[in-house]
């Protein structure tokens, strides 16, 4: 199996092919990613760039917020506040996302059955964050 650093580095380098924003990174296999991601951002002068990472966990895809600092709990951008702590139909209704499964009450992680839906979760959360920041 590939070392975690290689997985993170390849995913970081291919991020624009994954999403045009360049702010989202998809790991094709789960690995301990945090320290490697912060190091890569620093080395490439992209500190603070990556907002969410994606990986598969069992049958579900996860979207995880990247914290401001490696050891901190504050996220650069959290998942949409209207979805936090909700599940099932209530969450589907609040988000308008078909295969959404859960969003943690703190907004740091969520899941859906489709990769396209966890991407949508990130996009909508980023849009909501930028809208409130500029309001």
> What range does the domain containing 15 cover?
4-134
Q: Strands, E, within the chain: which ranges?
A: 24-26, 52-57, 60-65, 100-103, 109-112
Average pLDDT over the chain reads: 96
What does residue 14 show for φ and ψ, rounded to 5 degrees?
Answer: -95, 10
Across 35-40, average pLDDT: 97
CA gap 66, 97 in Å, rounded: 22
Q: Is 22 exposed, middle or buried (0-12, 13-18, 19+ CB in 10 A)?
A: middle
**pLDDT tens per residue, range 65-116:** 999 988 888 999 999 999 999 999 999 999 999 999 999 999 999 999 999 9
Residue identified by tokens 């964050």 is 129
Q: Decide if pLDDT at 30 tops 80.
A: yes
The helix or strand, by DSSP H or E, that contains position 127, with its residue range, turns out to be helix 115-134
CA gap 124, 120 in Å, rounded: 6
Q: Decide if pLDDT at 33 tops 90.
A: yes
Across 115-135, average pLDDT: 95
pLDDT at 1: 67
Task: Tell me how many domains the chain contains.
Answer: 1
Judge contact between 6 and 38, C-beta under 8 A: no
């Amino acid at each position: 199996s590939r070392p975690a650093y290689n997985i993170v580095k390849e995913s970081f380098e291919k991020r624009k092919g994954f999403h045009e924003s360049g702010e989202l990174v998809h790991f094709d296999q789960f690995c301990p990613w945090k320290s490697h991601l912060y190091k890569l951002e620093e080395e490439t002068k992209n500190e603070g760039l990556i907002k969410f990472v994606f990986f598969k966990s069992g049958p579900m895809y996860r979207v995880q917020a990247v914290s401001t600092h490696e050891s901190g709990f504050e996220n650069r951008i959290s998942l949409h506040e209207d979805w936090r702590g909700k599940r099932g139909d209530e969450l589907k209704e609040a988000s308008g996302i078909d295969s959404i499964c859960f969003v943690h009450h703190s907004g740091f992680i969520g899941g859906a059955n489709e990769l396209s839906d966890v991407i949508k979760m990130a996009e909508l959360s980023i849009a909501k964050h930028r809208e409130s920041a500029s309001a």
